[in-house]
Copies of this chain bind each other. A is one copy, B any other.
Amino acid sequence: MSDSRMLRQLKFVLELDKLKQVMRRNYVCGGSRRENSAEHSWETALTVLLLAEHSDVPIDPLRAAKMMLVHDIVEIDAGDTFIYDAQGRTEQQLRETRAADRIFSMLPEDQAREFRDLWDEFEAESTPESRFAKAVDRLMPMLHNYDTRGKSWREHDLDRGRVLQVNSKIGDASTTLWDYAKSVIEKASEEGLLRKD
């Protein structure tokens, strides 16, 4: 095992630190500050492990958790794109692909390939694991929004229909979680945390 292999790995690990400075639009519970993408990745990885049984089809929970650990690394260069920002999302794919090219290539070739494949799979939503990971990636900010009395929803003047539409991806992976998510969105709408459509 060459020293340079280990040094490349450690350089990459320190590069990851930058994800702690990427701020998302949603808030931590309680609403005291915005959430960063590193802590969001931790939370969603654990959530995937705990909720895996609710996937409509069987998934490998650890594989999906690994995907969650990796899914936002590209934001180190590309920044966070708000899921309700249609224009930002058009350019997002290009920015994130460039970021993936640069960041993952810092790793030794075998690990670069492994991480890139995992991120590509997440983006393509081509497997049960990636669909479940995407569902949890939607579910958590939605629950944080409800917890903070719709703080981020209200800041972006979102209505019930738009929130239902964007979060419907949850239903691609889990009928149970989507039923629950819909009930939270309806409650939020009734409580005035979301604009009526």
Contact = CB atoms under 8 A, between A and B. Distances in A.
A127 interface: no
Contact of A39 (B36, B54, B65): B36
**Interface residue tally on A, bucketed by range:** 35 or more
B28 A20 contact: yes
Chain A facing B: main interface SS: helix
A94 interface: no
Interface stretch (A11-19, A81-89, A155-163): A11-19
Interface of A: 1, 6, 9-10, 12-14, 16-21, 28-30, 32, 35-36, 38-39, 41-43, 45-47, 49-51, 53-54, 62-63, 65-66, 69-70, 107, 111, 140, 143-144, 147, 176-177, 180
